[in-house]
Structure 1
């Protein structure tokens, strides 16, 4: 999922550089949403791992 966020970030940067404001803002928004979902899932996975008795690495 982090790969998708980075992909949309690159698309947003390229679109912004070329002057496509609408596409750039949409891609940046999608990248931001995917990044936050990735962070939340990462934190949940770390908590689940700690609860099961294995400390985070």
Structure 2
């Protein structure tokens, strides 16, 4: 039996209602991607999701004003 490293990529989308382009005023959706790798698909997926979620949290903390 051969072990295989599984790779997962996820995209987390933010709330559209509070994101507006500075020049045009158009609403847009923020997207944060994350990647994970492990021998188990569940662990790989969790790592990818947490990576994307951490980027979202860092963005929110940086732009709270």
- Looking at secondary structure, tell me which structure has more helix per residue: 1
TM-score, structure 2 length as denominator? 0.39
- Looking at secondary structure, tell me which structure has more strand per residue: 2
